[in-house]
Structure 1
Amino acid sequence: MQRTYFVRAVWDKEAGVFVSESDIIGLHIEAETVDEFEATMRDVATDLVIANHISPEQLETVPLRELIPTIVWERPGPEMAA
């Protein structure tokens, strides 16, 4: 079972927002600032991992410590954070 997921904020020059690149199913973030992006990511990423990557059977049979995901957040460099 995958326990490590990544989230990266990428600047979409055409739209003028940061958008997400991630291997978390269902995660799509668009935000004007990195701080807004990060707040949204922290609010929804874990819930999406639980909803879309862990089966009900796993919730019942696998110890909780083995189900807690690690989310690797790659914040853009300072030149993109403005």
Structure 2
Amino acid sequence: MQRSFTVKAVWDDEAKVFVCESDIDGLHIEAETLDAFEDLLYETAVELIVANHVSADDLATKPLKDLIPAIVWQRPGDVRHAA
């Protein structure tokens, strides 16, 4: 299992929302603010990692410490577009 996943918020100027770029299968986020983006990220990311990146064999044979993922999330530095 991959132990580290990345999530990046990218401003979509046409849609006027932050959209998600990530290597977490199934994670699709669109939000008008970074705070809303973070809320959705924390609500959905771990569940999607377990559902889409952890196998039944992993759950049966690996220690829990080896199954806990790291989610690398860094807020964008330039948020002037989000008004």
TM-score (normalizing by structure 2): 0.93
How much has 1:57 moved relative to structure 2? 1.0
Amino acid at match of 1:35: D
Alignment coverage as a number of residue pairs: 82
Q: Which runs of 4+ in 1 moved over 2 A?
A: 78-82
| Separation in 2, partners of 1:58, 1:25 | 17
Structure 1 unaligned segments of length 5 or more: list them. none
Q: Does structure 1 residue 8 correspond to structure 2 residue 8?
A: yes
- Taking structure 1 as the reference length, the TM-score comes to 0.94
Q: Which residue of 2 aligns with 1:67?
A: 67
- Residues 30-82 of structure 1 show CA distances to partners (whole Å, capped at 9, x for unaligned) of 00000000010011001000000010111111001100000000211143455
- Give the partner amino acid of 1:33: T
CA RMSD of aligned residues (A): 1.2
Counterpart check, 1:17 vs 2:30? no
Q: Percent same amino acid among aligned pairs?
A: 60
* Corresponding residue for residue 53 of structure 1: 53
